[in-house]
Amino acid sequence: MIEYGKLRLDESVDRLLPELPDRRMLRRLDGPVDDTVPAERPITVEDLLSFHLGWGPPS
């Protein structure tokens, strides 16, 4: 799909997964589950294909 221009690696998944709007993330990994802040950036197709899924930078 990327070769045919139907999908881009840097594209946000918002168009593909509209059921996941207004994503939030934990303020701290060891913090309470309800202590969240808005995500700094959208999840991209590349994140999904590389299993990053917006969980933070790769180590």
Question: Which comes out higher in pLDDT, residue 56 or 4?
Answer: 4
User: What is the domain count for the chain?
Assistant: 1
The residue range of the domain holding 5 is 1-59
**pLDDT at res. 18:** 92
Q: What's the mean pLDDT in 6-35?
A: 90
Instruction: Please tell me the distance from the alpha carbon of residue 4 to that of residue 28, in angstroms, as a whole number.
Output: 40
3-state secondary structure the chain: CCCCCCCCCCCECCCCCCCCCCCEEECCCCCCCCCEEECCCCCEHHHHHCCCCCCCCCC
What pLDDT, in 10s, does the model give residues 28-56?
888 899 999 998 888 889 888 887 655 55
**pLDDT at res. 57:** 55
Instruction: Give pTM, 2 decimals.
Output: 0.67
